[in-house]
Amino acid sequence: MELQYALELVGTFVFAISGALAVREKEHDLFGAGFTGFITAIGGGTLRDILLDSYPLVWIGDIHFLYAILLGVVAAFIFPNLLSRLRKTFFLFDTLGIGFFTVLGVEKALSLGVRPEIAAIMGMFSAVMGGVIRDTLTNDIPILFRKEIYASACLAGAVIYLVLSYLGLERSYNLLISMSIIISIRLIAMKYKLSLPRLD
């Protein structure tokens, strides 16, 4: 459990950095970039918890998340060029992050007593809605609607976690397998520029 908590803080830190850097080419000042990092980091979990009436919200009940975000934003301020050059590394961290937060989101929803179908949606929301809210606020087409396979990878991983859990697989194995599937789908889709068919 301690490892999981540490990973949640690290994931929040990474999401805050990538959120703050996401507006580099825009007109944002430092405050706007920090705000964007904040929204990216907390948006998904906040939406999940509001939909499920689970209070206090994680970042309101535990101040460490706010400090993880502040650290991430400050890092983005001090080392923007370094961090931007590490774009590939960051993409990897971000992908690890969405895998991790998807599965944790599924587990949290289940622990609040909802049906597995709902838990799968909540897992996906935890991982991707921070970015969706960020993109909406900054007038971008949300990443969800762009061509790359992104939220659908999370949804697939969430469903697999639920199926394996139903089949009785031990939690730690299940976490690793489901996360790996999300991460693999995303990496393979990016590498080979795969995308889902369009509606036409």
Sequence-separated contacts (24+) of 81-89 with Cβ below 8 Å? 83/17, 83/21, 84/21, 84/24
Nearer to a copy of itself, 69 or 175 (CB): 69
Six token digits for residue 7: 């990973």
Nearer to a copy of itself, 101 or 125 (CB): 125
- Report the interface residues with a copy of itself, using CB under 8 A: 20-21, 23-24, 26-33, 35-36, 46, 50-53, 55-57, 59-60, 63, 66, 76-77, 80, 114-115, 117-118, 121, 132, 136-142, 144-147, 149, 151-152, 155, 195-200
Judge whether 83 and 48 are in contact, CB under 8 Å: no
Judge whether 11 and 100 are in contact, CB under 8 Å: yes
To a copy of itself, the closest distance from the beta carbon of 103 in angstroms equals 19
To a copy of itself, the closest distance from the beta carbon of 158 in angstroms equals 13
To a copy of itself, the closest distance from the beta carbon of 136 in angstroms equals 6
Nearer to a copy of itself, 172 or 191 (CB): 191
Q: Using omega within 30 degrees of 0 as the cis cutoff, is the peptide bond preceding 56 cis? A: yes
Q: Which helix (H) or strand (E) holds 160?
A: helix 151-166
To a copy of itself, the closest distance from the beta carbon of 3 in angstroms equals 26
Six token digits for residue 147: 């061509």
End-to-end CA gap in the chain = 46
Q: How far is residue 83's CA from residue 87's CA, in Å, rounded to a whole number?
A: 7
Nearer to a copy of itself, 134 or 175 (CB): 134
Nearer to a copy of itself, 31 or 166 (CB): 31
To a copy of itself, the closest distance from the beta carbon of 172 in angstroms equals 28
